Amino acid sequence: MVVDRKQHCESTGTTNKRVAQKILNKRLGEIVEARFQLPTSNPPRLKEFSQEFLISIRHQNTKKRYASSVASLSAHFGDIRLSDFNLVRIEEFKAARLLSKVRAATVNRDLAVLRRMLGIAERKRLIRFAPFREIEMLEERKERRQPHILTFDEEKRLLGAAADHIRTLAILILETGLRSGKEALALKWADVDFLNESIRVRESKTIAGQRIVPMSGPCNAELLRWQGLFGPNFSEYVFPKPGHPETHLRDVGVAWANALSAAGLEKFWIYDLRHTFASRVTQAGVSHIFLAQIMGPFQPGNSPNVCEGD
């Protein structure tokens, strides 16, 4: 390429002619629009750039997830320069992670974080190109755990054996499809409208998850029963933390496991109650569009932690 009467050579990092042509066309477009800049002669290293990248992530749960991938990337690659990433090294990373018995879904998350960081570096002209054009993500569908859809008989056994707060939490999720952590456990009484039988979800995984969810009669009745045990002024939270009513429960893993054991049920994630809600309303003929509006962003293949849901 000739820029300002000077010739500049740049490898596309690929042997695929179609991909190489796309990269060339992109550079030519940048030259025409006066946006072309030569990559820096001193590209940043992984440690420094990844920390800056994490600081830019605003959502705390997302930042925590990305930080886990950054740690895995750093453990394998060390503090290499971003310009030293290439197809061979990334493929070696994939192979090494799989050999260490890490699930394909986890490896894909690590790759997605690396792809995003290198994409940012490319746009900032810190590196010549992000070497992900020919890298394929791993097939993970075969590894996905099938959710446990609760039968009505199992539901009866579970609700009869569970501790009181688990019973209320289970009914809430089964009747509304709320996430267990960010939405159900963090729910405030101010967002429960008994008169209009609805719940306003203010705290969710994403902004798109903020919504108003209709309450069924059984859910309305159960929350009124639960509130009556403490009184409306005991805590602003529906599920207050024992001994600290100023905050809410964050972990019900032990109580959930105990409830399953007492009911004689095999272990499954509390998140599967959300799957059960989706299955039941779908079988009842509710449209997928309306279901998405009720549940917010929903990924059927997830298998999250017991305490936090998705």
27 pLDDT band, cuts 50/70/90, is low
Report pLDDT for 298: 59
83 versus 40: the higher-pLDDT residue is 83
CATH class of 42-143: mainly alpha
Q: Which amino acid, 28?
A: L
Stretch 228-234: mean pLDDT, rounded? Answer: 88
Report pLDDT for 188: 94
Stretch 147-162: mean pLDDT, rounded? Answer: 96
Contacts of 211 (CB under 8 A, 6+ apart): 200, 201, 204, 293, 294, 296
CATH 1.10.150.130 boundaries in the chain: 42-143
CATH 1.10.443.10 boundaries in the chain: 152-295
Report pLDDT for 8: 53
305 pLDDT band, cuts 50/70/90, is very low
146 pLDDT band, cuts 50/70/90, is confident
Report pLDDT for 9: 59
* Position 264 pLDDT exceeds 60: yes
pTM value surpassing 0.75? no
Q: Tell me 184's DSSP state.
A: I
Report pLDDT for 304: 38
Return the structure tokens found at 198: 């609805």
* Position 151 pLDDT exceeds 60: yes
Compute the residue count for the chain: 310
* Position 121 pLDDT exceeds 60: yes
Q: Tell me 182's DSSP state.
A: I
CATH class of 152-295: mainly alpha
